[in-house]
Amino acid sequence: MKTYRDIFDPCFDWPIIKIFKPLYFKFKNELLYLFWGFVNTVISYVFFFLFQYVFKFDPLIVTVLVWLVGVFSGYFLYAIFVFEEHNTSVKEELIKFASGRVFSLVVAETITLVMVKLLGISALITKITSDVVTVILNYLISKFIVFK
């Protein structure tokens, strides 16, 4: 858990928000992961819309391209802003991070294959569904394997 003050800590000194301070510090790591994950998700969705609707790539290819963008931007966001301790080199962490994301990619591709190709569900609904599943998997992998 972070021990230094980050950009959000001063907000919990405000009178009306101060009541949430104990809860914030109890779940700070998870909340920071969700916030920076949201930023990473916005980045991923920008690329999703570009690849899917501007360039009109196949949804399975879009999933891989968006995954690549998400891995690199996610690693740096989480390494800098969420997980304070780094017991390994950046190269080693990035390899572990990417390896964990390969598992998430397989899950996302399976969800995409089933929902879009077999069930005919829209690519956007499929993307949202696979994101919910992979966010949970990715947090667990990051917390207990990559940045432990």
The 10s digit of each residue's pLDDT in 121-133 is: 999 999 899 989 9
The residue-averaged pLDDT of 59-78 equals 90
Matching residue, tokens 């301790």: 85
| Res. 3: pLDDT tops 70 | no
Q: Which band of pLDDT confidence, cut at 50, 70 and 90, is reported for residue 48? A: very high
Question: Quick one: pLDDT at residue 5?
Answer: 66
d(CA 40, CA 73): 7
Q: Are residues 71 and 98 in contact, defined by beta-carbon separation less than 8 angstroms?
A: yes
> pLDDT > 70: what percent of the chain?
95
Contact 61, 83 (CB under 8 A): no
38, pLDDT greater than 70: yes
Q: What is the mean pLDDT of residues 85-90?
A: 75
- Dist CA 102 CA 104 (whole Å): 5
Half-sphere exposure of 132 (CA within 13 A, CB side): 6
Q: Is the separation of the CB atoms in 107 and 130 below 8 Å? A: yes
The mean pLDDT of the chain is 88
What are the distances in angstroms from CA 58 to CA 38, 54, 72, 106, 127?
25, 12, 22, 16, 13
Tell me, what amino acid is at 38? F
Tokens of 72: 């690199």
